[in-house]
Structures are given as C-alpha cells and as structure tokens.
Amino acid sequence: MSSILYLHGFASSPESQKIRSLRPLLAPQIELVTPDLNVPSFERLDFDAMVEKAAQAGVPVPHAVVGSSLGALVALAVVKRGLRAPLVLIAPALGVADQWLDRIPPGDLVMVPNYALGTDAPIHRAFFKQMAKVTVDETPPPVPVTILIGSKDESVPLQRVASVWHSWQSSGALARQSKFVVIAEGDHGLTAHVDRIAQAIREALARPSGIL
C-alpha cells in the first residue's frame, strides 16, 4: 500500500468533501494520511504550527504529498524542510500573498466562512498578517510537482498561479516530469473533478522523488 500525505486547505478539515470522495477512488492501494491542520486552533491558526504538524505526520516519509489551496503552501514548506516526495498541488494558493490582508475586513477577530463547521467562525488577524509574509512559493520545490487548477477558480486567480509556474520554469530549477494542468470549467473546490485528482496522484506515485 502507498501512503499519501494529504494537507487540507484553509477553513477545511480531514473530513472535507474532496478527501471523502478521494478515499474510495484510491483504495485499497493508496492510503490517505490527513492531519488536522487547524492548529493550535482555527481561531489562533498559525502557519508555522501547520507546517510542523504536517512534517510530523509525514514520518515515515510518504510516497507523495498532496496539498489543497493553503495546504499547498504547507506542502511546499514541508518538502523544503527535507521531506522528499513528489507533490500534487490542488488549486494552490500561489502568488497571492498580497491578497490575504486585502480580502478581509478590518478588526480582530475576523469572521470568515468555515467549511468544516458549516458556518462563519472567528480567526485572529495575526494569521493573515503572517500569510502575507510567506514566501515559500518564490522558488520551485526540489521534487517533481503537478499543479491542478480550474479555469474558473473563484478564490485563487489562474493568472497568479500560472505566473508562479512560469517563474519556476524560468529558474531552471524545476524538477523534470513536473506538470501544470488547467481543468476546464473547474472551480476552486474541484470536487467535480476528483477523478482527475486521483489520476494525478497515481501518476505522481510513478515518479521518483528528488531533483532529476
């Protein structure tokens, strides 16, 4: 059995619709390890704590790492800390550091939609200030990476993610066998395209990790 470290997105959980849909598509050959990244809590969310939780969950080393939206930044941080496994990034929050503060109202605490709870929930403003300074996406990861993004993503602009991808390509450091895939008509959740995500995970498992 192959082990996949799956890192969920912002205001989500290990019980997200995508994860629940993927499990039967990948079973029994592929197991999803899905840590809860709402640490130390959603209200006091901290990116460094998320990365540490993901790194701990990635022991022993998984066969691939999947990151969804914000989870993609966590995935990039984990492999840059030394975990060596191919990456699959779903609707990744790349190139949007300046938008974390722009999209929230003033004040503290901030009320935002929490998809795991099914209602609005408070979160401290310090998290958004922290995310505005995260630069883990400025350079390509040291492992093969597949990016999947919908052409109609309403949360992460396709142009922003494509710009990051092109900068990775231009750097000359992007691992061979890396792929950028635009899913026609896909939204941010990509829940209607879990079969394509499952395919990308299976393809990633066939690639060796590390710089090629």
Q: What per-residue confidence (pLDDT) applies to 208? A: 62
d(CA 164, CA 41): 30
Question: Which domains, and CATH codes, for the chain?
Answer: 2-205 (3.40.50.1820)
pLDDT at 209 over 60: no
Q: What is the mean pLDDT of residues 35-59?
A: 97
pLDDT at 207 over 80: no
Q: What is the pLDDT of residues 58-114, one digit of tens each?
A: 999 999 999 999 999 999 999 999 999 999 999 999 999 999 998 888 889 999 999
Q: What is the mean pLDDT of residues 21-35?
A: 97
The pair phi, psi for residue 108, each rounded to 5°, is -155, 120
Q: What per-residue confidence (pLDDT) applies to 172? A: 96
User: In this structure, how many other beta carbons lie within 10 angstroms of the beta carbon of residue 108?
Assistant: 12
User: In this structure, how many other beta carbons lie within 10 angstroms of the beta carbon of residue 69?
Assistant: 25
Q: What per-residue confidence (pLDDT) applies to 164? A: 98
Q: What per-residue confidence (pLDDT) applies to 106? A: 85
Q: What per-residue confidence (pLDDT) applies to 212? A: 32
Q: Which residues pair with 66 in a beta bridge?
A: 6, 88
Q: What is the mean pLDDT of residues 19-35?
A: 97
Q: What is the mean pLDDT of residues 19-48?
A: 97
Q: What is the pTM of this model?
A: 0.95
Position 1 confidence tier, pLDDT thresholds 50, 70, 90: confident
pLDDT at 123 over 90: yes
Q: Where are the alpha helices (DSSP H) in the chain?
A: 17-26, 47-57, 70-80, 99-102, 125-131, 158-171, 194-205
Which residues, at least 6 apart from 34, have a Cβ–Cβ distance to it below 8 Å? 6, 8, 14, 19
Q: What per-residue confidence (pLDDT) applies to 210? A: 40
d(CA 65, CA 201): 9
Residue with tokens 């060796």: 208
